[in-house]
Amino acid sequence: MLKAALLILGALTLSALVWHIGIGRIYDAVTQLGPAAMVLILLPSLLMYVLEAYGWRVTLGTWANGVPFWRILAIRTAGEVVNMTTPTAYVGGEPLKAYLLNRQGVPLVEGLASVVTAKTTMTVAQILFILAGIGLGFWLLGSGGSAGQTITAGLVSVGLLLFGVGAFVIVQRHGMFSWILNMLRRIGLRIQFLEVREQQLIELDRTIAGFYSHQRQAFLLSTGLFLLGWLAEALEVYVMVLCMGQSIAVLPAVAIGALSVFIKGGTFFIPGSLGAQDAGNLFLLSAFGYGEVTGITFALLRRFREFVWIALGLGCLALMTKGADHSLSRK
């Protein structure tokens, strides 16, 4: 019920923004882009997906050699469509990725371990990207006014997030799933699904801990690839603003991209961050000196990009599921 209410509120917020700015003005701005520009603005997100798929592939270790890269990319795209379209705090698609990897011959334990470690390296890279954006925001906008207050609040939030991720890594290194199982037992809650898989959970903990202890180069490489993937968000900002006929420098594009990621991450509890993400993008571009038409057009173009990748993700999901069904029928 709460999710539905938030979704409706978000839709009303976006509708109110569009109505306030003017449908005709927004339509004129969008139609001036042309088909070539609409294709061009999708290229940074394609680069982001490819880099992030490589970042995940690194965490698979030797198991990655048995899975073609295009399949890893397709599996990740399929998993991300679940993350984008379901209210699961962007983690609902992670078990699906491990399941689809298992259909490609990767043991479930190794697949789950790679999903957990890749999510961790991606989050570390995301924090670094957001911190860079906050620093640039302070430098470019100053610390005064509503924009400065928002950035200050963002800095505090990211600091807490960084602490949380650090604690999460420590827990992973000491057996996260075993710890969860023991905590449930201490409070008298025994979940049969977990109890019968205790040995698998212990093995999963060992695999994850082994990655952090013995694959530090892979950890750094994965984090670096994910960071490049996040920087593709800044490239997308740069390309979109240029396609709208506005000028933009590299550093403001990085700041807008990073702060936009922060806003989207902070509103995960709203399905699709509907309304909040769009209002946040409008606010960001206004803070950097762009008009409201440019701001809302930018927000809608990002929605267009999301819809395209949702369609591609659903196609990948259908393809990978079909492949799984065929493999099961052969067995």
Report pLDDT digits (tens) over 159-177. 666 666 666 667 666 666 6
Average pLDDT over residues 120-126: 90
Residue 179 confidence (pLDDT): 65
pLDDT at residue 263, rounded to an integer: 83
At 67, list the tokens: 């899975």
The answer to whether 107 and 60 have CB atoms below 8 angstroms apart is: no
The per-residue pLDDT for 155 is: 61
pLDDT for 208 beyond 80? yes
Which pLDDT score, from 0 to 100, does residue 275 have? Answer: 74
Q: What is the pLDDT of residues 277-315, one digit of tens each?
A: 888 888 889 888 898 899 999 999 999 999 999 999 999
Which of 8-22, 55-69, 100-114 is predicted least confidently?
8-22
How buried is 193 (Cβ within 10 angstroms: 0-12 exposed, 13-18 middle, 19+ buried)? exposed
Q: Find, among 84, 90, 81, 82, the residue nearest to 123 by Cα.
A: 90
Predicted local distance difference test score (pLDDT) of residue 123: 87
Range in 9-18, 82-91, 233-242, 270-279 with the lowest mean pLDDT: 82-91
Mark out the alpha helices in 176-275 (DSSP H runs).
176-186, 192-195, 198-214, 216-243, 250-266
